[in-house]
Structure 1
Amino acid sequence: MPIDLEVGGVYLPPIAQALLLALPVFLALDWALRRMGVLRFVWHEALFEGALYVCVCAALILVMGA
């Protein structure tokens, strides 16, 4: 069960924690995909990056729920 977190008097529900934790993971994945040249095969880069971030968030939410 995810724990509610309080940082500096600001309440962070588990979904906000997952969104914040997903950002560095997404940035590392995006950097790696750019270095490998995968993104030149993508039709719409912004849509791909948005979908990638959503997938990373969903994976973290599933891991946090277990």
Structure 2
Amino acid sequence: MPIDFEVGGVYLPPIAQALLLALPLFLLVDALLRRVGVLALVWHPALFQGAVYAAICAALLLWMGVSA
């Protein structure tokens, strides 16, 4: 069971922790995909980036052991 954190008096449930942890990972993956040129090959780059962010969040939640 993941631990709930309190940062500066603000309660952070595990889903919020995963969303915050996924942001720097997404920025790294996005920079890599831009450098390689993958975003030029997809139909809708913003939709693709949203899907990549969602996949990173889902992977973090699975890794953290959060159940729905």
TM-score by length of 2: 0.94
Q: Report the aligned-residue RMSD.
A: 1.0
* Structure showing the higher helix proportion among its residues: 1
2:45 alignment partner in structure 1: 45
Counterpart residue type for residue 14 of structure 2: P
Give runs of aligned pairs for residues 1-66 of structure 1, distance below 5 A: 1-65=1-65
Greater than 3 Å deviation, 4+ residue runs: none
Q: Is there any run of 5+ residues in structure 2 with no aligned partner, and where?
A: none
1:4-51, CA deviations, whole angstroms, 9 ceiling, x for partnerless residues?
000000000000000000000000000000001111100000100000
**Inter-partner Cα distance in structure 2 for 1:17 and 1:63:** 12
Identical columns (%): 73
**Inter-partner Cα distance in structure 1 for 2:24 and 2:60:** 12
SS in 2 for 1:58: helix
SS in 2 for 1:43: coil
SS in 1 for 2:43: coil
**Inter-partner Cα distance in structure 2 for 1:5 and 1:59:** 20
